[in-house]
A and B are shown apart, each in its own frame.
Chain A
Amino acid sequence: MFYQLKQILSQTTAQYADIRYEILGETRIVFNGKELIHIGTNSSDGFVIRVLKNGGLSSIAFTKLKDASKALKTAEQNACLLSINSKKPVEFAKTEVYKDSFSPVLKEDPRNITIDEKLDLLRKYNDIPLSYEKVITTNIFYNEVIREKFFLNTEGTEIKEDLITTSIGGLITAKEGSLIQNIRVSGGGSTGFSILRNRESEFENRTKILLELLKAEQAKGGIYNVLINQDLAGVFTHEAFGHFSEADLIEDFPSMREKMQIGAVLGIEILNITDDPTIPGQLGFYKYDDEGVLARPVKLMKNGILSGRLHSRRTAAAFKENITGHCVAEDYRYAPIIRMGNIFIEPGDKKLDEMLDSLGNGLYLLDAKGGQTSGENFTFGAQYGYIIKDGKKAKMIRDINISGNLYQTLKNISAVGNDLVFCETGGCGKGQLNIRSCHGGPHILIKELVVGGV
């Protein structure tokens, strides 16, 4: 393969070019209620070329080898157009040249498991919620994505890396009278098929929470002190803070860039945040990013002080900061952009009981249900929660969305738990989808969050 890719790049007149060829294997099985609505394994492939010419950086994605010369020419023309119209030429931070082939260690390679076995496992899990009378439907899927990537650049780097992601998850829906409630269930990761086995209790537990939600009270809009669990803390870290650690998002965003200066005091002293794609076994693991840079951990916040940022080669040069290896694409249809790998709040020393005690009266919110950020402002949903009275769980609440301002919220964190958990499935949609976007955190206590009920 590398020979063919080299042939394509040999035609370039640019000072730098890279090409990534990917074969994408996808297996998907979907149930809607009892009904199997999709099953199949497919393979597709394509190329992305990037060129840096006269200080202009442009990319093109294409699917047919016969279009390679045309694609290269188009990318070079676009790069020239960029260079003519830009005051500041693009530069790439230096990186080492690598020649490597890397496949992750798997506990059961999903390619060696028959689709019938995958179907049986999924059907078994899907039947668990459906055995309850009030569960009216499910949307449960098995998803397997195998990216075989070949990366080559004009500096001499040649990397073959495989990324294998398996997950089982979806939505369970129950109804009582006219009230419809749903809950998400998910499991999976980057370590092979075995992580999906023996998950019956997960499906049982989620179904039980769902049935309780049918009896829960609607959240009342207002300002509350809240304790959020690990999943919500992870989503908060990803959505509200993490995205502004991505250099490409703030590069041409003067007002955010002004606030996100390295050394700025943003949080309280007990707050430490790291992104580390090199943690073995986590969902967000990879060895090299999609511009051939070796991934490395980045301490983003140390004792409340902004201490690092995630970079591509372009932004590392523009910000005059170290390269980090965080430039990742969804697949062969996209040029890479800056992405978080495994982002997490480092654990503190508080136990859950202690945190509930110090909350006193407020809300305990659990599990994320989508999140979004817009500059300083973020909004995300919680799947369920409890009213806390005198440190004790009272009624369950449903239909919860929380909203806030990043900087205020970072300063309003009053305690960090000792119980770090990473998520098993991801789906960050920053222009393209990153199914390996992984976040984690311990329980955290936040003062004065806006909670929107209905």
Chain B
Amino acid sequence: MEELLQIAQKKGCKAEVFFSEGYSDIVSFEDSKLKNIDSKILSGISLRIIKDNKQGFAYTRNLLNKEELVNNALKSLKGGVDGFFEFPLTQNLKNLDTYSPDIEDISNNLLVEECKRLCDTILQKISCQINVTAQKTVNSLRLINTSGTELSVISSSYALTTELVYPYSSASLYRVIAGKSFIKAGDEYINFLTENYGHSLKEVKANSGRMKVIFLPETLYVLMWRLQTAASSNSLYQNISPLAGRIGEKVFDEKFTVFNDPLNDSIPGARAFDDEGVQCRQFPIVEKGIFRNFYYDLYFAERLKTDSTGNGFRASVSSKPSPALRHIYIVPGDKSFSDLIQSIDKGIIVGGALGAHSGNIPNGDFSIGISPAIYVENGNVVGHIKDAMAAGNIYETLTNIIDVENKTYISHGGNCPSILFNEVNVIIK
């Protein structure tokens, strides 16, 4: 890696080298039967250079020819992508506990046994199609640049997802357990799935209208996606953010607080620095309904004449950093999940969302198929509805919060509680 920096420097460039290496094993069960065990051992390296305020970028998987990688980056300089920012000098970062050595002792056999145990335990309680995946991953990153930064991190993660599938649909109720190493799925985890699935198995009919709706931690990403888009410095720069000029303004319900929370190393994926070597820090995006901060990477921070917030992340080694909120934390409220359900006279739990990626995302609009749409009547889960959609706009929906659950769960949307909203438009066939 150092050699790459030297070659680039000799060509008169400032440079940054990003290296990622890791392995993963994934075990999957379908309908309670072991279906697949797949492994990956992948590595990659990318080089970003700046010369005369222009940026060049190149990547490869096998660093067989260092000169070629540098030449590819030099060739891409010619296109004229602006690069007015400096690679940062970042040192003396807080040491985060991101790696649990126990992960190395998790055999695929253990993953198989845990999935099997879960299927057996659930099948004793309820008869249904169960899909389970368990994955362990170890990944190390290293980043160096010509400003003198030398950073590295090794991370471990274990994640297990159990889905209980509704007949004749792949609609499923699911929940994730995640940690830095193996965590045995406990009774609370199993009961959440079996009880809510069991009570909602019956197909029921209901009428369209505005009603109370719970988004689970697993489905809140539908709304958070729109918020993340609006709070991104990329949207601000492109003049498409509805939050432009509104820092300090109360935009959402006061029960709604969202943090960028990269330093929480009690959960997997914590980061002290982002993928371009800027220090990560905790800060609010929304605090008690007040919009507080946009998030920035180096490029958009320079464009908008401010500092990076440490949110420059890469989708993989083959992409340049761009602003991303990888560590969302929604502050929990004071009601238990069953309290939330009990406060619904007539409403729906969004167990899964279809089509979250369509609709006018920058505008905050969403229009999703609810799959499953778990129906609640007089404080009890009574069944599920087929052919239901929920539609709205986050600038209305997020102002209509009745209560926030008192516990958070890790899902692909972040570390979130369930949230109960009022007056969400639900269309039912």
Contact = CB atoms under 8 A, between A and B. Distances in A.
B61 A44 contact: yes
B391 A67 contact: no
A398 B363 CA distance: 12
Contact of A63 (B33, B62, B165, B429): B62
Contacts of A77: 108
B387 A82 contact: no
Contacts of A279: none
Interface string A46-85: 1000000000001111111101001100110111011001
Given A85-B116, A379-B369, A60 B362 contact: no
A38 B108 contact: no
B427 A39 contact: no
B318 A44 contact: yes
A136 interface: yes
Contacts, number: 256
Nearest to B316: A333
Contacts of A181: 360, 363
A375 B169 contact: yes
Contacts of B129: 253-255
A62 B57 contact: no
Interface string A391-403: 0000000111101
Given A137-B240, A403-B369, A450-B427, A60 B391 contact: no
Contact of B72 (A40, A86, A371): A40
Interface string A375-419: 111111100000000000000001111011100000000000000
B67 to A, nearest CB: 14
Interface residues of B, number: 77
Interface string B292-311: 00000001000000000000
Interface in B163-179: 165-171
B425 A41 contact: no
Given A44-B61, A62-B42, A401-B358, A256 B391 contact: no
A47 to B, nearest CB: 10
A399 B387 contact: no
A180 B362 contact: yes
Contacts of B363: 179-181
B33 A86 contact: yes
Nearest to A58: B37
Contact of A36 (B80, B108, B242): B80
A54 to B, nearest CB: 13
A398 B358 CA distance: 12
B352 interface: yes
Contact of A39 (B37, B79, B354): B79
Contacts of A452: 367-369, 389-391, 427
Contacts of A438: none
B59 interface: yes
Contacts of B354: 372-374, 377-379, 403
A454 interface: yes
B93 interface: no
Interface string B137-169: 000000000000000000000000000011111
A82 B30 contact: no
Given A40-B72, A40-B75, A405-B386, A71 B355 contact: no
A377 B238 contact: no
Contacts of A75: 39
A240 to B, nearest CB: 11
Contacts of A116: 78
Contacts of A86: 33-34
Nearest to B389: A452
A281 interface: no
A42 B45 CA distance: 12
B387 A74 contact: no
Interface string A414-454: 00000000000000000000000000000000001011111
B408 interface: no
Interface in B28-71: 30-31, 33-44, 56-62
B44 A63 contact: yes
A60 B24 CA distance: 10
A44 B60 contact: yes
A74 B81 contact: no
A63 B43 contact: yes
Contacts of A105: none
Nearest to B33: A252
A59 B41 CA distance: 11
Interface of B: 25, 30-31, 33-44, 56-62, 72-73, 75-76, 78-82, 108-109, 112, 116, 129, 165-171, 208, 234, 238-240, 242, 299, 318, 320, 352, 354-360, 362-363, 365, 367-369, 371, 386-387, 389-393, 425, 427, 429
Given A221-B389, A374-B170, A452-B367, 20 more contacts: A36-B79, A40-B75, A40-B76, A42-B318, A46-B42, A60-B39, A64-B62, A87-B33, A180-B363, A252-B30, A255-B167, A369-B358, A376-B168, A379-B389, A381-B359, A400-B367, A401-B359, A401-B391, A405-B387, A452-B368
Interface of A: 26, 29, 32-33, 35-46, 58-65, 67, 70-71, 74-75, 77-79, 81-82, 85-87, 115-116, 119, 136-137, 173, 175, 178-182, 221-223, 251-256, 259, 333, 335, 369-381, 398-401, 403-405, 448, 450-454
**A-B residue pairs, 7 tightest by C-beta:** A375-B169, A381-B358, A39-B79, A379-B369, A370-B358, A40-B76, A379-B355
